Structure 1
Amino acid sequence: MSEDPSPGADPKKIEELQKEVERLNREKAEAEAQAAAKAHAAAAAAEEKAAAESKMKMELESQKAAADAKMQAELEAQRLAAEDAERKRKEKQEKSKSRRRKIIGGIVLLIVLVLVVLVASSSVTVQSGTTTNYPYITTYSVWFPIGEPVDISGHKLIALSDGNEMMFSADGSVTKLVRSDPIVIGEQAATLTTLFGKVPVMTINYKVILEYQGNTAENQAYFKMLIQSDKSIPEFVVNFMLPKNVIAQAA
């Protein structure tokens, strides 16, 4: 700021005023320069701080992404390990089941083969019996072919039709039959053996009563057969005791 020197002003004072003005201008310029420098420094610091914060943020995000990726990789590894363990467990279980099935199948096959051998090698021999106490009674319906000899427990039997009458021959003794007439076959003892007669299984004492029921249209004589025995008789043993030309059904 300058003042126009008025006429008659002291030149020295004017010079001092000019110097003061110049000093003030320098100070102002310096202050403005310092303010500008401070502003620039502050701006640089702010920019540097922002850059540091941005860098730190990026590093944190990178670390977080790396941690997430590591966790995902660990979870995936755990999942794959669990799936592999489950697959191995199922394979082991299937192998174990397969072994058990093979073992059970082998045992069943062995049992079947043993049973087949035992049944195929089984037979029944009959001889005179001695027991008179028969608490068991088994009933069968049987059909004899008329005119054909049959053998039951060593007894020769023939059913003969003579017009409206039925004649029955038992061991050469001929009897005229009417409905419900009984024919008693004496006491017998049947021994069931297997392995071709080498191993006895059981001996059953019994007697047979045949009750005539009439003729059929197929030229057969129909009888009700009662087997009285000292123990229960399995059906397959009865089948051994009857010849193939006699049809029998459990009644």
Structure 2
Amino acid sequence: MDWMYEKDKKSQRNWSIYMDEIISRDDEKGRELAKETGRKQGQQEERAREAQKDGWGTGVKIILSLVVLAIIVVAIGFLTLSVSVMTVSPGNALPYTTNYAVTFPEGQPIAIGNSHITVLSFQNEIISDIDGNRQKLAEGEDRVIEERRALITTFGVITLVDTNFQINLKYKGNRDNLAYFDMAIHTSQQVPGMLLNRLIPPEIHAQPM
């Protein structure tokens, strides 16, 4: 009977060892499976982050490209601005006015639109010559450049401004070979200052008032 008891105990130990091995293998498989699952999940998250990063990068590149393109178009448009001035019949309504303080260099012919102006001081007066029509001005007196039509275009074909205008000059005195005027530009349409400045030649220093 003792030997049967010993045999039974030995069988139980073997069974216990066998079960422990199975459980151990299952635990190891579980750990490996969990590790593999974690690794795959990490890879998926990394790919998702990369995709998001690439998406943001592409979006930023597109926006920057559009901004650069817009800047180039604006620059080309500004460089191709052209002003044409034509004679018109006077008497049109000119409800908009822009005022400047300006200086004319004495004795230098200057073109405003298609009008040519020369001013020269004489004692306490100024002699203003506009298209060959001379007139003396004392301080505070006005001289009018008759109504014209201005057509401002860009890219050679796109019309930005089509307006009639008239210029009033009020003589303010002279100093250092410069004649000072208050200049009022009256227009039939409201014109942005940047475009209106295209009517003023670089020889005239003009300061908005």
Give TM class, smaller chain. Answer: 0.7 to 0.9
**1:145 pairs with 2:100:** no
Residue-by-residue CA offset, 1:45-70 (whole Å, 9 max, x unaligned): 7x817x726852x5555444444433
Structure of larger gyration radius: 1
Aligned length: 207
1:235 aligns with 2:196: no
Distance 1:161 1:78, change over 3 A: farther
Normalised by the size of structure 2, how large is the TM-score?
0.79
Number of the residue aligned with 1:173:
134
SS, match of residue 51 in structure 2: helix
- Give the fraction of aligned pairs with identical amino acids, expressed as a percent: 25
Per-residue Cα deviation, 1:164-215 (whole angstroms, up to 9, x for no partner): 443333333122230x43222111110112333x443331112112223334
Query: What's the secondary structure of 1:243's corresponding residue?
Result: coil
Assess if the C-alpha contact under 8 Å between 1:124 and 1:237 holds in 2: no
> Structure 1 residues 67, 232: CA separation in 2 closer, same or farther (over 3 Å shift)?
farther
In structure 2, runs of 5+ residues without a counterpart are none
Structure 1, unpaired ranges of 5+ = 1-37
Spell out, residue by residue over 1:126-166, the C-alpha distance to the aligned partner (whole angstroms, 9 max, x if none): 11234622222222222222221211122222232234443
Alignment check: 8 A CA contact 2:101 2:182 kept? yes
Q: Distance in 2 between matches of 1:236 and 1:152?
A: 16
Higher strand share: 2
Query: Does residue 194 of the first structure (1) align with residue 163 of the second (2)?
Result: no
Which ranges of 4 or more aligned residues in structure 1 deviate by more than 6 Å? none
| 1:159 equivalenced with 2:119 (yes/no) | yes
Which has more helix, going by share of residues?
1
Task: Give the structure-1-normalised TM-score.
Answer: 0.68
- For residues 70-101 of structure 1, what are the alpha-carbon distances to aligned partners after superposition, in whole Å with 9 as ceiling and x for unaligned? 33333332332222222222322333333333
* Distance in 1 separating the partners of 2:55 and 2:100: 49
CA separation of 1:44 and 1:75: change in aligned 2, threshold 3 A: closer
Q: Given the alignment of the two structures, is residue 129 of structure 1 paired with residue 88 of structure 2, yes or no?
A: yes
